[in-house]
Amino acid sequence: MRAITGLWRWRHNPLRRGTDLAEAWLCLAALLLVLVAGPVLGWLVGGVAQDALQRSVREQRESRHEVTATVVRELGRFPLDTDPETTAGRDLRSRVTADWTGPDGTAQHGTVLAALRSPHPGDHFTLWTDRHGRMAARPLDSATATTHAVLAGVGAALLTAGVVEAGRRLALWRMVRRRYARWDRAWDRAGPDWGRTGTGS
């Protein structure tokens, strides 16, 4: 708004300098870039991120499988959840030795984190594996992928606005420096006693 009022104010003002009008046009151009280029760039980045993340979701769903494991023995509590996609990140998980069968039919044995409060030998729980039965992270779900794509788009729009504003401030700073340099040259040409000419001093 300041850019628009600045342009309007300087339209027919007899005291208007070229730099004043240039500053107002610079502010208006920066405003238009923030309002138009920022959202467009954010939309494009969000769309590209959405396509890539949804493709990753499909690939992970094809390559990862949920299998049922059986507790052999409990090894103790584990206070942190290593899976960032779960909603109960602060729940205690139990570290257990377990047996499971991979999607390809191979028998597997290992130490895993089980979502069981007090596991006992023979208890069942689910875990994610690759197609060969090796443990894998939980696959990314579509809603989380969309959230990440939206955040990427918003981040791109905000980054664009920040870059445009930084460019505007840099250009304005250079314009002001040039103006001060011109004033210094004009002052040097006028001489040190320009205000006392003809006073006889």
Compute the average pLDDT of residues 46-69: 93
- Alpha-carbon distance of 87 to 112, in angstroms, equals 19
Q: 79 or 114, which is more confident?
A: 114
pLDDT score for 89: 46
pLDDT at 88: 46
Residue 114 · residue 71 · CB < 8 Å: yes
Instruction: Indicate if the pLDDT at residue 200 is higher than 70.
Output: no
In this predicted structure, the answer to whether residue 64 has a pLDDT above a threshold of 80 is yes
Q: Are 90 and 115 in contact (CB under 8 A)?
A: no
17, pLDDT greater than 70: no
pLDDT value for 34: 92
Beta strand 124-130 pairing with 107-114: unpaired
Rounded Cα distance between 197 and 85, Å, is 81
Average pLDDT, whole number, for the chain? 81
pLDDT at 42: 95
- What mean pLDDT is predicted for residues 178-184? 84
Please state, as a whole number, how many other Cβ atoms lie within 10 Å of the Cβ of residue 157.
Answer: 20
Whole-number Å distance between alpha carbons of 39 and 51: 18
Here the contacts of 81-86 (C-beta below 8 Å, separation 24 or greater) are 81/113, 82/113, 83/137, 83/138, 85/138, 85/140, 85/141, 85/144, 86/138
pLDDT at 28 over 90: no
Long-range contacts of 111-119 (CB under 8 A, 24+ apart): 111/75, 112/69, 113/78, 113/81, 113/82, 114/69, 114/71, 115/91, 116/71, 117/92, 118/94, 119/71, 119/74, 119/94
pLDDT band, very low/low/confident/very high, at 14 (cuts 50, 70, 90): low
Q: What is the pLDDT of residue 16?
A: 60
Residue indicated by tokens 């729940």: 91
Residue with the larger pLDDT of the pair 12 and 163: 163
How much of the chain exceeds pLDDT 70, in percent? 77
Give residue-wise pLDDT tens across range 85-125: 544 444 567 888 899 998 888 898 888 888 888 888 888 99
